Amino acid sequence: MYKSIELEVIGSAAVITLNRPDSLNALTNPMIVEFRHALAQAEKDQNVTGIVLTGAGRGFCAGMDMNALNSLSTTGEREAVDSELALITNPGDPDMGDDYISGFTYMLTIRKPIIAAVNGACAGLGLSIALLCDMRFAADNAKFVTSFSQRGLVAEHGQSWILPRVVGPSRALDMLWSSRRVLADEAKEIGLIDKIFPPDQLLEATLQYIDELAKTAAPLSLKTMKKQVYRHLNMSLGDAMKESDQLMAASTAHDDFKEGVTSFLEKRLPNFEQVDIK
């Protein structure tokens, strides 16, 4: 179905691989459409607990393909995209509202965990996509760079919103202004990434994390917690607490709560209900 990405279900995870290794998986407009379609497919699959995003070859994603950018700057024309893929139902929870409809910010509304397995160079729009994943695991040879200032651009694709929330304002401005390379050890130190692994262990470790969630966590809890975190970033503390109280009351009345308590007392793994996402 896809020309520039791959989608494969491994265990409890849907693995989406950006697959243009000769260009370090630089993005084209058709590739962006394929990526959105694959996320929608993974979100709907009841066999999938979480989604892993990685890159083919030695890079994660080098940003937007420069040839595509040159086409935009000289002619204003966009590449043709597969009309059938472009007409799919949008992925993500529409109840999250208008704050999450621009660019790739819809990733924050996907009702399943998304983990970026950053296997190499991660730059520009590629860094934005990694930041809009819920967690970031990286190979010890990964490199991160914003790149916008060196192209005469501004902080784009949501980086001015998400990057300061991940690493803090001053570190975000350093990365944005200087466009310097941040290596894996520093990225871990400043909170840009969550875990570091040898390159040959990265994907397996990320899949194991998703499999552990599948064994122990209620899908409804995962979905609701993700929604809480991103909605509450834009709320006052009082409003966030009020909504959390309502959600907590609903969760204690759900069968998953009873199963969670019973499985704990019986010292066994829980058998939670699956979430039907249409």
Q: 89-110 pLDDT, tens per residue?
A: 689 999 898 888 889 999 999 9
Between CA 138 and CA 198 the distance in angstroms is 8
Span 109-135, average pLDDT? 97
Q: Are 120 and 55 in contact (CB under 8 A)?
A: yes
What domains lie within the chain, and their CATH numbers? 5-212 (3.90.226.10), 217-265 (no CATH)
Average of per-residue pLDDT across 222-239: 94
Q: For 94, which DSSP code? A: G
Q: Which residues of 153-187 are buried (b: 16+ CB within 10 A; e: fewer)?
A: eebbbbbebbbbebbeeebbebbbeebeebebeeb
Helices (H), the chain: 29-44, 66-74, 83-86, 125-131, 159-167, 169-178, 184-189, 202-216, 219-232, 237-252, 255-265
The pLDDT of residue 74 = 47
Q: Which amino acid is at 148?
A: F
Q: Inform me whether the pLDDT recorded for 231 exceeds 90.
A: yes
Q: How far apart are CA 70 and CA 263, in angstroms?
A: 58
Which tens digits make up the pLDDT trace of 125-168?
999 999 999 999 999 999 999 988 888 888 888 899 999 999 99
**pLDDT given for residue 98 in this prediction:** 87
pLDDT, position 178:
95
Dist CA 27 CA 25 (whole Å) = 6
The string of pLDDT tens digits covering residues 154-203 is 888 889 999 999 999 999 999 999 999 999 999 999 999 999 999 999 99
